[in-house]
A and B are shown apart, each in its own frame.
Chain A
Amino acid sequence: MTVQPTAMKVRGVSRTYRDGTRSVTALEGTNVDIPDGEFVSIVGPSACGKSTLLNLFCGLDKPDSGSIEAPVLGEGSLLGRVGYMPQQDTLMPWRTVTDNAAVGLECLGCGRQEARRRAREHMDRFGLNGFELSYPGQLSGGMRQRVAMLRTFLCGRKINLLDEPFGKLDAITRASMQTWLLDYWQENRCTIVFVTHDIDEALFLSDVVHLMSPRPGRIILSLEVDIPRPRKYGEVVTSVHFNELKSSLLRSLGKEA
């Protein structure tokens, strides 16, 4: 086996922040490696420091101690170089679907017309055909998420962080979005760090699932998901092996709780 380059390398990271008069330790001595080009999930209970970890990954926040490096990106600040899709879709209600999707490119210095043109090229692949000139308020939840995802993926980052992108969708839309995302990722390989609190979702999508403990957050289990790709939702989530993996994750969670 060849040695895979590392996309993200987290060593002994701690982060404490003040919440009013309390100080909250979100992360303590966290270590994690994210291999390049893999689909990695981070799973954990609510408020386990998942979002804190993502903030560090995309450079919006700095650790109190420890280090975060992105060898595939080289030296320098991570801010502005790592793709990020926040939990809320944060679409701008005053921009059309095309213009919302183009926001990232525009920020990166791409001209408005050029950004629009490139956004329009992807409308079909993102299931947004015919909605180019619609406003976000006219879209369904699933479509809004696809616009937000297009906005992030259009920037063509090597590393993309997705923070519970399907958290607010109904189960059926959710399953089809998961399948869609896997297809897209298989065509356009990049490193994806996917945060969720849904164990099924994490297992179905990922190469590796990192399980986080309740606060202060540490990685308590890193599980290789050796289910062959391409994966079919109905087959995978009902298979015996899927359920074995799931039960080992649940056991680890149970020990911590």
Chain B
Amino acid sequence: MPTVSMNVNGKAVTGDVEPRTLLVQFIRETLRLTGTHVGCDTSQCGACVVHVNGESVKSCTMLAVQAEGSDVTTIEGLATNGELHPMQEAFRDNHGLQCGFCTPGMIMSGIDIVQRHGNPDEATIRAELEGNLCRCTGYHNIVKSIKDAAGRMGG
């Protein structure tokens, strides 16, 4: 079995994996970081979005061995010293989540959207959320949350 090493949420981690192991399986099953979710098997839903070297990636669509040597950030790695990331705060303040299952992926995608667009307008946010599905919120408050967070992040 190949050995894979990477930095996850600032910590060096190593594990033996089958070559077919997906990054999301490595994160959830080997590292037991269960905040990253699996909602489909066709890379549609985005519940598994993490950041790899600062870019948002669907971790169900990447093999663990492809992340060798990468810096990976998951939902668990966003808060620093107990302080929530502005995107997390915005989702709470704007009721941007209901069941919470799509939420980690939405938050990780939201950060990526703001990082790339600065202060995106509503249409941009909606278009950029193409790869994240939510069944609970009708997206209304997710869009509002990301817009709010963009302001808080200085966009």
Q: Do A and B bind each other?
A: no
Query: Which A residues form the contact surface with B (CB < 8 A)?
Result: none
